[in-house]
C-alpha cells in the first residue's frame, strides 16, 4: 500500500520554494522538491490562495505586511567581499506599531493576561504615546469562578491549598467579543496562555496580531526551549515516550 503523502515542509532539505535565483533566471522545477512538498501535492490549494490575494483588501494587507517585514532589516557596508550585509533593525513592538501605522489603524485593542498586567500598562502608554486610541481587556474580565467551566477546586492553580480562594477563569471569548464590539482596527495579544489564545482566535473577528506569547519558564520566549532541545538541559523534549512511533 502506498504511504499517504501530506505536507511536511519541516522535514524539507531542498527549500526550492525560496530559491534565491537571480532575477531573470528560472527557479528549480517543482519536480525537484520532495514528494511531500505542498507545491507538488496541493497545487490547487496554492492556486486558491492566490485568488484570495487578488482581493483588493487582502492584497493590500499582504503588501503592507511584506513591506513591514523588509523594513525590519537594513543594509550595511559590512558584507562578504563587495556585497552589502544585512542586519536587523527593530524589535517586535516597534514592528507592530509600524505595521499598525501602515494599515492606517487609529484604534488598537490589547487582550492581555493578568500575569502581564505591568507589561500591558507599559504597552498601553507606548501605544497612546504614538497617537493610538487603546482599548484593553484583561483575561479575568467577568470574574467568573472556574467551577462554572467544570473545574474542581483541586484542579485549579491554587490546588488543594486554594480551597478557600475564589479563582476567576480566563475568558478569552469575552476579550475577543469586547474588542469586536469596540471595532478596534487591530487586536494585539499580550501573553495569553496556550488554549486561551486558541479560543480568542476562534471568536475574534477583527484583524489580530500576537505581540507576546506566554512562557512561564523562559520569560515569554518559548523558542529558548526549542534551541535547548539539542542540549542536555532540555534534551528531554526530543525523547520519545516508550512504545510511541515517530509521526513521519
Positions that interact with ligand SF4 (CB under 6 A): 9, 12, 14-17, 33-34, 37-39
Smallest separation (angstroms) from ligand SF4 to the CB of 38: 5
Smallest separation (angstroms) from ligand SF4 to the CB of 34: 5
Q: Read off φ and ψ for residue 73, nearest 5 degrees.
A: -120, 165
Smallest separation (angstroms) from ligand SF4 to the CB of 239: 26
Contacts 24+ apart (CB under 8 A), 28-33: none
Separation between Cα atoms, residue 19 and residue 38, nearest integer Å: 16
- Residue 47 DSSP symbol: H
Smallest separation (angstroms) from ligand SF4 to the CB of 52: 18
Concatenate the DSSP letters of all residues of 164-218 into one string: GS--BPP-HHHHHHHHHHTT-SEEEEEEEPTTHHHHHHHH--S-EEEEEE--TTT
Smallest separation (angstroms) from ligand SF4 to the CB of 25: 17
Q: Which is nearer to ligand SF4, 11 or 236 (CB)?
A: 11
Separation between Cα atoms, residue 98 and residue 136, nearest integer Å: 19
In three-state secondary structure terms, 10 is: helix
Q: Which is nearer to ligand SF4, 46 or 58 (CB)?
A: 46
Q: Which is nearer to ligand SF4, 42 or 102 (CB)?
A: 42
CB of 153 closer than 8 Å to CB of 232? no
Q: Which is nearer to ligand SF4, 12 or 151 (CB)?
A: 12
Count of beta carbons in the 10 Å neighbourhood of residue 212: 20
In three-state secondary structure terms, 223 is: helix
Q: Which is nearer to ligand SF4, 41 or 206 (CB)?
A: 41
Smallest separation (angstroms) from ligand SF4 to the CB of 41: 9
Q: Which is nearer to ligand SF4, 17 or 151 (CB)?
A: 17
- State CA 238 to chain mean position distance: 23
Amino acid at each position: 500500500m502506498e504511504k499517504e503523502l501530506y505536507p511536511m515542509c519541516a522535514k524539507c532539505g531542498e527549500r526550492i520554494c525560496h530559491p534565491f535565483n537571480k532575477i531573470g533566471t528560472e527557479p528549480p522545477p517543482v519536480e525537484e522538491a520532495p514528494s511531500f512538498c505542498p507545491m507538488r501535492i496541493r497545487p490547487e490549494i496554492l492556486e486558491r490562495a492566490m485568488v484570495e490575494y487578488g482581493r483588493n483588501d487582502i492584497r493590500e494587507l499582504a503588501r503592507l505586511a511584506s513591506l513591514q517585514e523588509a523594513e525590519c532589516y537594513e543594509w550595511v557596508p559590512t558584507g562578504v567581499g563587495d556585497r552589502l550585509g544585512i542586519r536587523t533593525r527593530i524589535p517586535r513592538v516597534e514592528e507592530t506599531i509600524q505595521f499598525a501605522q501602515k494599515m492606517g489603524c487609529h484604534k488598537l485593542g490589547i487582550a492581555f493576561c493578568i500575569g502581564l498586567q505591568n507589561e500591558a500598562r507599559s504597552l498601553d502608554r507606548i501605544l497612546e504615546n504614538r497617537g493610538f486610541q487603546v482599548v484593553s481587556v484583561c483575561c479575568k474580565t467577568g470574574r467568573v469562578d472556574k467551577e462554572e467551566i467544570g473545574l474542581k477546586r483541586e484542579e485549579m492553580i491554587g490546588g488543594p491549598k486554594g480551597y478557600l480562594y475564589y479563582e476567576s477563569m480566563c475568558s478569552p471569548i469575552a476579550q475577543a467579543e469586547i474588542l469586536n464590539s469596540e471595532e478596534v482596527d487591530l487586536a494585539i495579544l499580550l501573553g495569553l496562555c496556550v488554549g486561551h489564545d486558541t479560543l480568542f482566535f476562534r471568536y475574534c473577528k477583527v484583524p489580530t496580531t500576537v505581540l507576546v506569547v506566554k512562557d512561564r519558564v523562559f520569560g515569554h520566549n518559548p523558542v529558548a526551549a526549542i534551541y535547548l532541545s539539542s542540549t542536555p538541559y532540555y534534551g528531554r523534549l526530543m525523547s520519545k515516550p516508550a512504545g510511541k512511533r515517530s509521526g513521519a
